[in-house]
Structure 1
Amino acid sequence: MLNQLLDGRYKITKVLGAGGFGKTYIAEDIKLYNNLCVVKQLQPMATDPMTLQVARRLFESEAQLLHKLGTHDQIPQLLAHFEEHEEFFLVQQFIDGHPLSDELTPGKRLSQDYTIALLQNILQPLAFVHQNNVIHRDIKPPNLIRRNSDGKVVLIDFGAVKQISTQIVNGEGVTKMTVGIGTAGYMPSEQSRGSPRLSSDVYAVGMIGIQALTGLMPHQLEEDIQTAEIRWRHLVSVSPALADVLDRMVRYDFRQRYQSAVDTLAAVQNLGNAYAPTQTSATPGYTPTLPMTHPGDNPYLADPPLHSPPPNVPAQYRQEIPQQSVSSPPPVTTKPAKVGLGFYLQWVLVNVVGLIAGTFIGAIAQMLVQPLGKIISEQVLAATIGLTIGYMQALVLRRQIPISEKQWILGTTFGVCLSLMLSGKDPENSLFWVGLVVGIIQWWILRPVVKQAGWWIIVNALLGWIGGIFTGGALILLLKNTKDI
């Protein structure tokens, strides 16, 4: 389709992406000084008369809606819409910028001020969308473009338009949607069931806020087994007010969320962030510094492909976008909660209680497996002690630093069992081996987030057996010197 002329004026110059909903191109408007624009080609699932008739009605209504929404400064303008050869085309404003996915990279935490301002920057155009009773349905970092000229976030790729490519009419004249719209991780449960609401968009924005603070992708966040709520507050230290707002945005039950972006924006603005943007300001901490480049060299200057693949969509339907070097806010370390006497006493307590409880439970388990032999019964005792101590240590640590609780618990359990094997028949050396082996394993877990973590091995090997008295003090010193993540 390259170099093809559409509607007698739009010359296709580059393919931006293709997917199950259609294709996206960069084009030149030859009747308007070769100005660049974005052309979206929407292909109906079927070309029978009934399906095409439904698609035409839907296309016309959605085009009128996009034209109205495009009056907002942070939403691309709709320049034209037309039909050719039983296919539908939208022509939209060309956006010079890069997607937020370039800023929200895995492992990079951003500051509380940055996150609050980012939420406001996204919620401002979304509030306008919701005031028009429109659900975006596919809010995610690739669909939020940071405009080079002013640093504002532009909201693109409305999911409602994709309905044109998903509708099909059966023999009884009933219209059905053939493909779900949305992206796993940013899409709440009610939307995945086909019943999106305004608060479904609020959920997506909340997940982006949590992603900015934690540096974790949505699929990396744990869910509460009983409530299905997202567990993230233990990973970072932020103001309770911001945490409460984000928690309400991502509630599992849509009835417990803010009901629209209008309500959410008001709540975020009430946080009183001194750096919060106004209608004419961009996210603080970010200054657009990208040089102006030829748009053909930059696939981020316009909307990404129309297809937002749900889980298990074949790879051929996903757009592969090359990486581009862009300027983004420097990572800001979120400091852990303060550690002091309270933390020290908790650490000593969980070590002592864990040892006593683990020994008691392990002794019972040891008696049950006694017929299987001495080696197995000893390993059962060691595993029970390691599991109990590791679990209780993880409960305290998770409030301070973003470690994997599973790694810590399983690593501690394995370390105690392995040290028992290494100590052999010499019980006098068993305490040294426990401290050394467990110290090495826990050091490996601590080293990504704690500076000078090697001291953890030494302290554990020499004094780790004294109920956490010395390791607690060492841990306080280590936690006061965490790494930037």
Structure 2
Amino acid sequence: MRHCLNPGCLHPSNPENHQFCIKCGQKLLLRERYWAQRILGQGGFGRTFLAVDEDKPSKPFCVIKQLLPQAQGTASLSKAAELFAQEAGQLEQLGDHPQIPELLAYFTDNGQQYLVQEFVNGVTLAQELTENGVFCEQQIRELLIDLLGILDFVHGKNVIHRDIKPENIIRRKLDQRLVLVDFGAAKVLQQVQRTVTGTIIGSAEYCAPEQSMGKAKFASDLYSLGVTCLHLLTRMSPFDLYDFNEMAWVWRDFLSGNSVSDELGQILDHLIQQAPNKRAQSAQAVLQLLQPTSTALNSPQTPQPTLSKPETQPQPNSLLIHPTNFPIPLQYQELEQLLKAQEWRKADEETAQQILKVTDRSSLGYLNPEDMPKIPCVDLQIIDQLWLKYSQGLYGFSIQKQIYNNLDCESEKLWKTFCDVIGWRKKGSWLYYRNLNFSLSAPKGHLPVIKIYYEALGIGSLFGQGDFGFESDDFAAFIKRLDECKI
């Protein structure tokens, strides 16, 4: 059935083949393309509908958001319209991240403002809490790693979300990844705005003190994320977790048997400091607290192997520091088990599948150079750390990058020389995937190849489908992404 979008009607039971509402006569199709199926929710600025995109053969679901401000007065209505347009702008700017909904359209129809965005099929963390009970420490660690990766991207675009809370975080059913939604409160932070008081926006329970005064910072989002974790650990209102008489958080008093380690407790305490300058100032800084070994590869104290000539084969023993203990998200536990069992080929295939999932390229089966920026840094870091750990520093993205950057040869020869050094070519010929060396006797950097199932010819990889599968431009783009992620 088709749902009427007329705010004064909202008749929910129009037949699917009808173009106009049988009750009020208003057109049911927006832009002759989108029609609403049912109401998903309503807030202070608008109403959202689950909708169908008639323009595509598969008739996929999407979300229609209709500006419907409850505030009265010209100034209030003008501000609501401004924020609605701002949300559309944020989604257009940020929607190329696989864990942020993509903006599909933004327009005015019949005097109403609309935006249409990607539908995320899943449940919010608020729903998870209601259905499954409080989160355990491992779930909180996985949540932090996932969300901090998204915030690192968002803040890198000079955007503050300003409304992080369980209701605005969806666990996507397809791959169990967390998706950050509702950028209606988000704000672009310009240089000239850094000390200027702005609009007070956000959910009061999760709002940082400085944000409550209209001076949101990047650290304000980190505060809200920390408070979100406290709520998920206790199922208590954040207001009840703070003792206003003592001016101190007392969240540990409400754990009710839920165990939280001192290490994680200190990280959460760090996130919820009242003074913003006492908090971590970036998502990357918090990730380093959660994964303290993730930066060891780039530490100036860490010895770095060198190649004096392109022909020199690195020795299997690694001089790099690899991790001994760090939290593994659920989606990477299968990869960890395969690596622990030294099932190198299966681990390589699992690595490929995970990278395609996080870039929404599973249906395509490989990546193009323009897809490389979509790979979240935190995923690359986790995969690299796992390969380093279980290969004793022999394999991993950081090893391959190191070898690639240390080669001393002309740019046009760099790609082939690199493949010769790590064993993807022998005597000037590319190896088929089935002929690669899936053991610890392979040259350093030989894995991961991140193979995709392209078995007809026994060749192919994540980066296109050439003679061997890789293309030099694709791999150069991948190396650039590793640089951006400080791997």
Structure with greater helix share of residues: 1
User: Based on CA coordinates, which of the two structures has the bigger radius of gyration?
Assistant: 1
TM-score normalised by length of structure 1: 0.49
Higher relative contact order by CA 8 Å / sep ≥ 6: 1 or 2? 1
TM-score normalised by length of structure 2: 0.49
